[in-house]
A and B are shown apart, each in its own frame.
Chain A
């Protein structure tokens, strides 16, 4: 993300660079570059998206609905919503807490914590799924104990939720850290000196200042939580109607040559992606403005 640059450039970051005669290219070069970019976009982004929807609707809208309303498909949708519904709020909580600690305080092991937050990004999702199997599986570290207490985590809903939480953990925290660092502590100190309690300071001063960044992180987190395949695939066990999330269900349908059904469910995920994109663009714009304002703010420049 462009955060680091924005921070350093301060208030100049918001002024767009205007091409001058010296930096501009000839018309031909410009058109060639634009067409290459457009070709790429059409080939790799628009075409697949269009195919998803056309395949899903090939047998007509009636078949489309029928495919979506199959019990297994509905179960997969429910499970995906459940996993995201648990993972997103929890990661919202963890993310705010972690970002808060990193952005506002100095402590030993801070860089270690930052590295740990990034871990889910750097580890392959399949590996993170395997970690849970090795931990909670029957042959795993805690497996025997869990079995004795009749608790099933792997090949059951808890495992899916855990894997989703792990994979989507960095989104909220990553989004908030640069924002909190840019804002510094002065406003919180001011609130405390004015007699506000810790909670009042958080809800009246800190939270309003990060709300757009927070929302942006939550949207990304949610998109990933619903779309996650690798980690969930390892821990789920692919039990139809019970431990299949939408992405897993799509794969099964596709492997069984039920293309229309597979694409129908896939179209839901694609719709989610499109909705995310629209919300993201709006929120991102607001969030960037908030960050720009924060950096300007602490620069202490004057607007006379």
Chain B
């Protein structure tokens, strides 16, 4: 499903978190929202998810206006920065939650739910930990459970907020490769927020660089890295030497 955000503005009090931001995400693409903290990337993601509402602007899914719909009706998979797993449920129950809360008519049978959860557990390689509680898992394992839980409802869009933010360097590296693989397998339109340049450049099909509530540049990793449009993008994406020059006209 394609996502289209049109001139989104969002203010928290006096602070403009987003200022007339527009972004188009074609179906099936994996896009990174990259920027320093406070640049508005998480706010944009939450507005796309329907967890937050914009002051002005529209969000379209496949050309259909979803601006007024809540997160519940948008059918998005959302992975939270701190995972937000249900702490009193086992891994199995966590993943099954989205299926179990469906209205009676659309709810799959017990066997179907079981099969679906088993399949997802295999996908995240945690089949033997189905009966553990989240507090008994490592950070990387929790992250994968959060992903499986979001995927269980077969969302049309997958949104991830700093998915690797609170993991140690080694696990982070493994998990981001795994996410890339997963995306190649499932082919679901995905957006993830990150402040880590390497992560965005390595994982994403396209990168949107954000600064102070605006999008500075959108392009493939190659494009934004080799042809930065603004000094900010240039600065943010690598260690740079900035030479100031003066043009002398005779």
Give bound CA distance, A293 to B75, whole Å.
Answer: 30
Q: Classify the secondary structure of A's interface with B.
A: helix
> Does the CB pair B71–A186 fall under 8 Å?
no
Q: A25: CB under 8 A from chain B?
A: no
Stretch of B96-104, B111-119, B185-193, B239-247 lying at the A interface:
B96-104
| Identity of the chain B residue whose Cβ is nearest the Cβ of A187 in the assembled complex | B84
Give bound CA distance, A304 to B140, whole Å.
Answer: 8
Looking at the complex, which one of A193, A208, A302, A303 makes contact with B88 (CB distance below 8 Å)? A208
Looking at the complex, which one of B76, B87, B102, B168 makes contact with A302 (CB distance below 8 Å)? B168
Q: A197: CB under 8 A from chain B?
A: yes
Could you give, for residues 52-81 of chain B, a 1 whenever the CB lies within 8 Å of some chain A CB and a 0 otherwise? Answer: 000000000000000000111001111011
Q: A110: CB under 8 A from chain B?
A: no
Known: A302-B139, A303-B139, A304-B168. A194 touches B97 (CB 8 A): yes
> Does the CB pair A194–B84 fall under 8 Å?
no
Neighbouring B residues of A187 by C-beta, 8 Å: 84-87
Looking at the complex, which one of B51, B70, B101, B138 makes contact with A194 (CB distance below 8 Å)? B101
A188 to chain B: closest CB distance in Å?
A: 9
Interface-central residue, A190, A294, A296, by most chain B CB under 10 Å: A190
Q: B25: CB under 8 A from chain A?
A: no
> Does the CB pair A204–B101 fall under 8 Å?
yes
Q: Classify the secondary structure of B's interface with A.
A: loop
B33 to chain A: closest CB distance in Å?
A: 18
Known: A195-B153, A302-B139. A190 touches B82 (CB 8 A): no
Neighbouring B residues of A191 by C-beta, 8 Å: 86, 97, 101
Task: Name A178-221 residues within 8 Å CB distance of B.
Answer: 186-187, 189-197, 200, 204-205, 208-209
Q: A109: CB under 8 A from chain B?
A: no
